[in-house]
Every structure is written in C-alpha cells, then in structure tokens.
Amino acid sequence: METDPLDAQAAVDAAAAAELRSAQIATSTPWYAPWYGITCAGFPVMFALLATDKMALETAVTMATIASLLALMFTYEHVTGVWPSIRGNRRHVAGILAVLIGAPTLSCLVASAYGVSWWLLAVAVVTAILLALMSRSYDAALVRKHAAR
C-alpha cells in the first residue's frame, strides 16, 4: 500500500504553516517588548543605588523590578499559552546579556565614583529602549526562522 506523495507534502506544509502561526502568535503581543524594556531598566538603577548605600530605595526598586518581571512572564504565558523563551538565537541572547550585564556594571561604577544624579535616568532610558528593540528584533528573527522552511 503506497501513500500519495501529495498527501505527504500537504501534511508537511500544514505542519510548517502551524509552526509559523504558533511563532507569530507567541511573538505578536505588542505590549511585551516595551514592558520588558521598562522592567529591565530597573537593573542599572538597582546596582547604582546599591553602590551608594541607599538600601531602602534599592530594596524597593529590586522588589518592583522582580514583581514586574514575574507579572510579565505570567501575563505572557496567560495570553499566548507559552512561556517566554530566549532559546534559539545566540546573537540576540548575547546582545541582551551584554546590555543586562554592561548597564548595571557601568551604573555601579559611575554611582560609586560620582553618586546618583541625572545620568542614571539616561542609563535607564537607554537600557529600556535597547532591550525593547532587541526583544522585537528577536521576535522578528524567530518568525523568519520558522517561515523559512
């Protein structure tokens, strides 16, 4: 008994279309990238406040950042049905990690030398924008990866 090659191809095409659609659903939330960027802007603020011994404020920023990150993850899972993931694209992951490590390190060094002032807001805004853009870029790369079959 032979299988019709057109049926097999149709099944492969249907599976590829379903995979692409699931990638589009998981990456199409317009609120994820800005929320992610704003949440991650808390990291350089936390480290700068830690370097200047402002423990009460640093604790409040840390708790708010963690709460926002948890709320983001659970909301994303509730809306899309999948957990946020960074698996797949090493270049995007490396860029995100560079910002998530570099901005807090820079903030800590500058705060310990000069104290906290206007520059911390600038670092937080740049961090938020960079990570939001990187998140959107990662989503676009994920959709392209699943579309190219």
Tens digit of pLDDT for each residue in 16-56?
A: 677 666 666 655 688 999 999 999 999 999 999 988 888 89
pLDDT level of residue 102 (50, 70, 90 thresholds)? very high
The residue written with tokens 């740049």 in the block is 126
The residue written with tokens 């950042």 in the block is 65
Q: Give the H/E segment covering residue 66.
A: helix 55-80
Query: What angle (nearest 5°) sits at the alpha carbon of residue 65, between those of residues 64 and 71?
Result: 85
Under 8 Å between Cβ of 41 and 128: yes
53: left (phi over 0), alpha (psi -120 to 50) or beta: left
**Mean pLDDT of the chain, nearest integer:** 84
Render pLDDT for 71-83 as a digit per residue (tens, 0 to 9). 999 998 888 877 7
Q: Which amino acid is at 9?
A: Q
The whole-model pTM stands at 0.78
CA atoms within 13 A on the CB side of 45: 23
